């Protein structure tokens, strides 16, 4: 077995990515403070053909060298938009028929393995601040709160890791449905 060379990977160009059929998922970053986390989410969004990333509140926006360090150019491919008020955005998305999924540990949350997205719906996945998580007003407004099952001592994942887990899960479930 040998590793693939970069030129053998069949990577899309930015124009090919822009015109490709997207996974019906939007990512909403609710007050993310780490620029490296933001860049990592962009890179993951690129990997799974995510439709768009919304950067809200204190979340920094490209161009920035610390975002670029982990995004590796994904900010050029993945559509993104800045919004000051996360709740206002969530209400707009709901009015468009988009299902809001807050990723948070909360009373009555649905375990990720029990979440079954369907290709007929459109989803917005909300990921929250590294310390405070998804804000309570967003959790209260979300159509569904999803919790990533964890069995260790921390019961906490880095936001970029949580994004990877949830986006992969949704991507593969939607591809096989």
Within the chain, where are the H helices?
Answer: 14-19, 35-47, 65-71, 74-77, 86-95, 136-141, 159-176
Per residue in 6-37, pLDDT tens?
Answer: 999 999 999 999 999 999 999 999 999 999 99
Answer yes or no: pTM beyond 0.85.
Answer: yes
Mention every residue, 6+ apart, whose C-beta is less than 8 A from residue 69: 36, 39
Q: Name the residue ranges covered by the structural domains of the chain.
A: 13-176
CATH number of 13-176: 3.40.1280.10
pLDDT tens readout for residues 52-65: 999 999 999 999 99
User: 155 falls in which pLDDT band (50, 70, 90)?
Assistant: confident
């Amino acid at each position: 077995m040998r590793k693939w060379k970069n030129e053998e990977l069949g990577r899309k160009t930015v124009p090919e990515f822009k015109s490709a059929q997207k996974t019906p998922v939007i990512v909403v970053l609710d007050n993310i403070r780490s620029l490296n986390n933001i860049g990592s989410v962009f890179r993951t969004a690129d990997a799974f053909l995510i439709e768009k990333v919304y950067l809200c509140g204190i979340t920094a926006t490209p161009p920035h060298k610390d975002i670029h360090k982990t995004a590796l150019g994904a900010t050029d491919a993945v559509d993104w938009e800045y919004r000051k008020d996360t709740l206002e955005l969530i209400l707009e998305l709901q009015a468009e028929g988009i299902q809001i999924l807050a990723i948070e540990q909360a009373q009555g949350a649905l375990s990720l393995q029990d979440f079954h997205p369907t290709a007929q719906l459109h989803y917005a996945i909300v990921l929250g601040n590294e310390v405070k998580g998804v804000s309570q007003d967003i959790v209260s407004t979300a159509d569904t709160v999803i919790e990533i099952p964890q069995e260790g001592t921390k019961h906490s994942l880095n936001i970029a890791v949580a994004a990877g887990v949830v986006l992969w899960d949704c991507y593969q479930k939607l591809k096989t449905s």
